[in-house]
């Protein structure tokens, strides 16, 4: 699953550069904000995580109102807290956001399975690091990642994933998925991405 998520992040960034090719070309009256960048990144990521709810800049009310930039999860439960994203547009930012991902979002009670730091500061210029549950940091770039076209994902696949999630259920809401249920869901996701063909398991 680590490789799949890494490749999805890479593909989403590539799609952002392709679909928003004039993003950094604005008039002297207009400036690009971090929130605007986050919005566009979320749009690209959501083309791959179609079975999850997406949120931008939400406040975690019982968590000191901390605000992750992007999350992919299922509402009303922490069981399917899958991906949390910190996005930046300054090439000098990094370590503080990585610490924030690990210490704020990937621990109890939220237990996000993956965190990703994405920094985009110009056309084709980015740094991205995937953080896994065990704290490993995986570099994301053209030498370590493969492009997956969003068209690979069928509606039948999305419906199958949603059905599996419904069968698992949202209770208990404050506990992560146990290992056997996580493996069941992972297998359904990996099958849907036709990974035998793409070799991205």
Query: Tell me, what's the pLDDT at 73?
Result: 97
Residue 195 has pLDDT above 70, yes or no: no
Residue 72 corresponds to which tokens in the numbers above?
């992919």
Residue 171 has pLDDT above 50, yes or no: yes
pLDDT > 90: percent of the chain: 73
Q: Is residue 155 classed exposed, middle or buried when 0-12, 13-18 and 19+ CB atoms within 10 A define those classes?
A: exposed
pTM of the model: 0.93
According to DSSP, the β-strands at 114-122 and 125-131 are antiparallel
* Neighbouring C-beta atoms of residue 110, cutoff 10 Å: 19
Q: Which conformational region is residue 199 in: left (phi greater than 0), alpha (psi within -120 to 50 degrees), or beta? A: left
pLDDT digits (tens, 9 = 90+) for 37-88: 999 999 999 999 999 999 998 876 666 767 899 999 999 999 999 999 999 9
Domain ranges of the chain: 2-198
pLDDT digits (tens, 9 = 90+) for 102-114: 999 999 999 999 9
* Residue 115 or 25, more confident: 115
Tell me the CB-side half-sphere exposure of residue 55, using CA atoms within 13 A.
17
pLDDT band at 201 (very low <50, low <70, confident <90, very high): very low
pLDDT band at 33 (very low <50, low <70, confident <90, very high): confident
Residue 133 has pLDDT above 70, yes or no: yes
In angstroms, the CA 20 to CA 39 distance is: 12
pLDDT band at 7 (very low <50, low <70, confident <90, very high): very high
According to DSSP, the β-strands at 70-73 and 137-140 are unpaired
Across the chain, mean pLDDT equals 91
Residue 101 has pLDDT above 80, yes or no: yes
**Tokens 């399917």 map to which residue?**
80
* Residue 153 or 64, more confident: 153
């Amino acid at each position: 699953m680590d490789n799949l998520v890494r490749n999805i992040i890479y593909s989403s960034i590539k799609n952002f550069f392709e679909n928003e090719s004039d993003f950094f070309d604005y008039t002297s009256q207009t400036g690009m904000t971090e929130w605007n960048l986050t919005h566009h990144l979320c749009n690209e990521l959501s083309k791959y995580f179609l079975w999850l709810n997406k949120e931008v800049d939400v406040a975690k009310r019982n968590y000191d109102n901390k605000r992750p930039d992007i999350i992919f999860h299922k509402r009303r439960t922490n069981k399917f807290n899958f991906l949390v994203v910190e996005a930046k547009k300054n090439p000098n930012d990094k370590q503080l956001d990585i610490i924030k991902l690990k210490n704020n979002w990937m621990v109890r009670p939220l237990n996000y399975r993956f965190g990703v730091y994405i920094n985009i500061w110009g056309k084709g210029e980015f740094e991205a690091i995937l953080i896994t549950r065990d704290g490993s940091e995986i570099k994301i770039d053209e030498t370590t990642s493969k492009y997956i076209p969003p068209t690979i994902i069928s509606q039948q696949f999305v419906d199958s994933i949603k059905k599996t999630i419904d069968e698992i259920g949202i209770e208990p809401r404050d506990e992560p998925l146990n290992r056997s249920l996580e493996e069941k869901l992972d297998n359904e996701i990996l099958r849907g991405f036709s990974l035998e063909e793409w070799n991205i398991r």
